[in-house]
Amino acid sequence: MTNQNTQRIEKMEELIARISAGTGLDAAKAEKALGIMLNLVKTQGDQTKVAELFDKLPGAAELAIAQGSDGASKTGLLGMLAGGMMGGPLAAVSKLTAAGLSMDQIKQLGTITLAYAKEKAGPDLVKQVAGSIPGISGYV
């Protein structure tokens, strides 16, 4: 990771601290969990709206890439299945539980992240992005 990416990810420290305080996770685990969630948004959401959202959340795109990617190809069977069968959200929950989060912590992660995004980017944009991700729109 380049120094520039490290600096951008540091801009997410406020949100990481909120997640850590709200979930009881240490900062490293909170950062990993946030990266997984942001990667879900980046890969499953409307790309135009996601770019607009990430522009208002400095460091979000870099964290999504750095922490959310498992190194697997974005193509292949899982990539094809993710489209219409909630593979994206279900895969993210699976990654979060594998990272050691409980279902309650995953819910808190979502609530805290959505509140932060609404605060920084506005509720309308957050609703538009969430509405473009199968299985997520009901949580906004």
Number of C-beta neighbours around residue 26 at 10 A: 10
Eight-class DSSP state of 133: S
Cβ–Cβ < 8 Å for 50, 95: no
Cα–chain center distance at 92: 9
Cβ–Cβ < 8 Å for 140, 130: yes
Where does residue 134 rank: exposed (0-12), middle (13-18), buried (19+ CB within 10 A)? Answer: middle
Q: Report domain extents, the chain.
A: 3-132
Q: Round to whole Å and give the CA distance between 72 and 38.
A: 16
Residue-by-residue pLDDT tens, the chain, 140 positions: 445 555 556 789 999 999 999 999 999 999 999 999 999 999 999 999 999 999 999 999 999 998 755 544 444 444 444 444 446 788 889 999 999 999 999 999 999 999 999 999 999 999 999 999 887 766 66
Eight-class DSSP state of 122: -
**Location of structure tokens 């969990």:** 33
The second-level CATH assignment, the architecture, of 3-132 is: Orthogonal Bundle (1.10)
Q: Round to whole Å and give the CA distance between 40 and 134.
A: 11
What is the value of pTM for the model shown?
Answer: 0.81
DSSP string, 100-125: T--HHHHHHHHHHHHHHHHHHH-HHH
